[in-house]
Chain A
Amino acid sequence: MTVALPEQATRKYDLGFARWVRDNVNGGAKMSMCMQCGMCSGSCPIGTEMDQGPRKLFMMIRAGMKDEVFNSSTIWNCTSCYNCTVRCPRGVPVTYIIQDLAAKAVEFGYVKKVENARFAKAFWWSAKTFGRTDERLMTAKYYFSFGLVEGMKRGLANLKIAIGMVRTKRMHIGMPHKIKDTKGLQAILAKAAEIDARESKGGA
């Protein structure tokens, strides 16, 4: 859990949101180093599928455009290729910032229907329940999060792939893979969530 968001900026030069990002987003403290050179956006393999590249997204953060930032497809189509991060001349951890903005968008209720949010839910469910990712169950959960009909459609579209995977023993049939100490793992994750809640309240 994170410190509550500031209001959307209504006047020019409102740094409320930029400050919030600095203090609450993973890597955000380094964002002030950004000099808007565009190296990140120029290196991005998937800019065509983004509302704006990382450079512009960072500019929007400075401009206090909170809603536009959290609704941007940029944070959902980043592939985590780390081109931007290794090339940024100012040492801004661009990928980490974008990844965490995505998490914050979910936390603050901006996106419910986005594919990634559904996928992340299905993934975490598997990791938490079994301690391991069961690609098969996770995918099924993801597909059916779209509803029964859409789920069948997505499943069928990939049926050939799934059959190939089963045939080559890259997808198993049977019980999910599980770690031995699922209880211990769940206790760790519950504790971590508790610490997060405590720290955001105490303003650590």
Chain B
Amino acid sequence: MSDTKKFTYYPGCSSLGSGAHLDRSIRAIAPKLGVELEELEDWNCCGASVGHIEGGQLANTSLSGRNLAHAQQQGPQDIVTGCAACYLNTHGAAEKIKSDVKLRENVNEALGAAGLKYDEDRRVRHVCEVIVNEVGLDKVREAVTNPLDGLKVAGYVGCQTVRPFAETEGGGEYDTFDDPQFLDDFIEACGAEAVEYDVKTACCGGSVSVMKPEKTLHLIKKILDAAVEADADVIATPCPLCQTNVEMYQDAINKKFGTDFNIPVVFYSQIMAVAFGMDGKKDAALDQNIIKATKLEAAAK
């Protein structure tokens, strides 16, 4: 492709575990969208939503500082990540360092212990924002060779992909906090039907669901109820934690509430890989969904 744009790609820890299928499908679709991903050298964990508790604010920010310093060494291109929490932390840290001279000084003093420095301002972006603002929907449509006619998808955005940065200048102003359209747009661009889904930015409980699911199962149930009500074949999400939470707790919810949910939860990038005519396993990573997305598998080449 002539106009390929290069990014430093930060996969995040979930790419090595529960979110492996997000990472795999993003890497697969990127070239089709004219995006070149070069992995961030020796990247480390971003601290997620709890790093500051045990490590303290400065150490937690320094985790992102180390990644930013490596990106600076790697070249002038923007950083991009597909993980909502990595985006939240890394983007948030970069913005804070940008506006707080003292923090920059402290982070750099810490980085100095490993011979690193971060003395510029690097843009940290989300894959979805890049698809909206850089790639554009037209290019997504052009890449579709296997339109997913008849597939009904509930587009579940979750929280941190859009909050608190989607409407900010630094976040690329790519969508709204409460009623984002990008996911439905992706789904429709792939030839599938985006069903009416008003819980799209409801919360799945995030890491509280990991620690204490008994407190949050009712939140996940709402997300499932609405999908079933809308007669969706599959739920699609951009967030690795949402995908895991909404998929793996269906058994526990069925036990607790006497329901019989068994609805597949996939990433938008898996849907794109299938619609782009790519391999259902190797590229779309559909073999990594615990609840099989049978309709999507059937549509895959």
Tell me the chain B residues, 37-89 only, with Cβ under 8 Å from chain A.
Answer: 42-45, 47-59, 61-63, 65-66, 88
What residues of A have a CB within 8 angstroms of the CB of B53 in the complex?
Answer: 102-103, 106, 116-117, 120, 124
Do A168 and B66 contact each other (CB < 8 Å), given the known contacts A100-B57, A116-B211, A195-B58?
Answer: no
Query: A115-141: which residues lie under 8 A (CB-CB) from chain B?
Result: 115-117, 119-121, 123-128, 131-136
Q: Name A126's closest neighbour in chain B (CB-CB).
A: B45
A159-188: contact bitstring with B at CB < 8 Å (1 yes, 0 no)? Answer: 011001101111110000101110111011
* B251 CB–A CB distance under 8 Å: yes
Interface size on A, residues (CB 8 A): 69
Contact status B159-A168, CB under 8 Å: no
Q: How far is the CA of A172 from the CA of B159 in the complex (A)?
A: 28
Instruction: Decide: A123 and B56 in contact? CB cutoff 8 A.
Output: no
Binds B, one of A8-16, A31-39, A52-60, A73-81: A73-81
A123: nearest chain-B partner, CB-CB: B50
List of A residues within 8 angstroms of B110 by Cβ: 188-189, 191-192, 195
In the complex, how many angstroms separate the beta carbon of B179 from the nearest chain A beta carbon? Answer: 12
Tell whether, in the assembled complex, residue A181 and residue B42 are in contact, meaning their CB atoms are under 8 Å apart.
yes
Q: Do B44 and A132 touch (CB < 8 A)?
A: yes
Dominant SS among interface residues on chain A: helix
A99 at the interface (CB under 8 A from B): yes
Which residues of A does B touch, CB under 8 Å? 1, 26, 45-46, 49, 77-83, 85-87, 95, 99-100, 102-103, 106-107, 115-117, 119-121, 123-128, 131-136, 142, 160-161, 164-165, 167-172, 177, 179-181, 183-185, 187-193, 195-196, 199, 204
> Mind listing 20 A-B residue pairs with CB under 8 Å?
A45-B203, A46-B215, A79-B205, A86-B163, A86-B177, A102-B53, A103-B56, A119-B50, A132-B13, A133-B13, A133-B17, A135-B13, A170-B17, A170-B244, A179-B42, A181-B114, A185-B66, A188-B59, A189-B59, A192-B59
